[in-house]
Structure 1
Amino acid sequence: MARYPQRPLSLYVHIPFCHKLCYFCGCNKIVTRQQHKADQYLDVLEQEIIHRAPLFATRQVKQLHWGGGTPTYLNKAQISRLMDLLAQPFSFQRGSRDLH
């Protein structure tokens, strides 16, 4: 981290939730239909961001990746909350938050 203080970051956010189990999946996942579990996960993720973000304070985010589980398991309010959690401590390069 200190070796490359200006090198841009690529962030990965793991969303471990799925509504159903896919027989072929080897991902770290939690199969549940209890949407409130995602809110609890975001509470813990918020604390992780608070503790880790200062380590990267001088670096801009070039890429943001979501994986899972099923990232679209999150509802609109949860997605908005997650983006707000990331936007507070991190500086994003132009275009790095585009959806593809």
Structure 2
Amino acid sequence: MTVALAQGSRCPARRLTQRHLDLKNDFYEEVRARGQVPDSEARLRRQVVKLKELRARDKELRQLSADRQGLGQVVNQLVLENSPSPRDGSTLCPLWPVPTSG
């Protein structure tokens, strides 16, 4: 209907639906009645899926970062426990930087 109106008035369909929202709503109702999904809705659904995947990856990366810091502290502790104490009185330098609070 909207396309036919646009062709009859020699006006782009986009301009016609921007000025007459009732025509736009009628068009989308017809599309849904035919069992189709409008392109804009399909694009939004795809984008939502992508965003959910990115959120899951972000959560996984934060967990891996936290695990890495904990494992680094364990490695430093094991190195200190298993290495002989220096004879000259100097202190050992940890292999992994220990995060400081603050």
RCO higher in 1 or 2 (8 Å CA, sep ≥ 6)? 1
For the criterion TM > 0.5, the same-fold answer is no
Q: If the TM-score is normalised by the length of the shorter chain, which range does it land in?
A: under 0.3
Tell me which protein shows more helix as a share of its residues. Answer: 2
Tell me which protein shows more strand as a share of its residues. Answer: 1
TM-score, structure 1 length as denominator?
0.23
